[in-house]
Amino acid sequence: MRGRERGTGAPVRALRGLTRSAHARWPASTRRPTLAGRRRSACTDDREEPLVDSDDTGRGDDVYQPDGSEERDDDDFAQLDYDDTLLDPDVKDPLDEGYSPVERPLAADRDGTTLAESEEGETLDQRLAEELPDIGDPQGDGLGDALDTDGELRDDEVGEDRSGRLVAPDEGLGPDTEKDMVASDVGIDGAAASAEEAAVHVVEDDENDLPVDEDVNDLP
């Protein structure tokens, strides 16, 4: 291995297996100063400038320090007891079942977390990418409540106006002599209708389907 003596440019040849006594005879100019030598030279320096930063914080200006906005709330990641939940697991200790962290992005992935990014700021394209469009209510076809379909068929058997409580003419006391089910709307009785009664709606009759009263004298 060859090298050059520092400051002189003269070639220096390093020998392998050099003993301690041989190292002592090596030129002093080719040996690196020890740690004690560096400390001694620093202590004997006549300069009045401090050797270390006199800042109380001990941090440089280029070191990024978090401002606390990225700190997570411990309540979001807290492990609740089973007494505070509606779960009924097979284990007594909630830690025996394991814990799955919340699946949501953290603030560390956002732009502007470093000092350079906060000083430069976001570009116009980045700001436009973060904009959320104002999306109004989807416009349906007016038939039913299904969206993104071809529409639903109109059901003429389902009315829009809810009927009241239906009561039979005999109020269910006498024998049923009418072949058709006949009842009259007596209104909503204290809004205490059952689910079956609340599902009944008023449907307008078609004029073509209405029965025509025939005179028996006109019959052949």
Question: From the first residue on, what is the mean pLDDT of each consecutive set of 10 residues in the chain (220 residues)?
Answer: 51 51 50 50 49 49 61 59 67 69 70 82 87 75 60 65 80 77 77 77 69 52
pLDDT at 87: 65
pLDDT at 171: 79
pLDDT at 205: 73
pLDDT at 73: 57
pLDDT at 23: 47
DSSP assignment string, the chain: -EEE-TTT--EEEPPTT--HHHHHTS-GGGSPPPHHHHHHHHHT----S-SS---SS---TTS----STTPPPGGGG----GGGSS---S-SSGGGS------S--GGGSTT-SHHHHHH---HHHHHHHPPP--------SSSS--SSS-----TTS-SEEP--EE-TTTT-S----SS---EE---STT---HHHHT-EE-PPPGGGSPPPPPGGG--
pTM for the model stands at 0.24
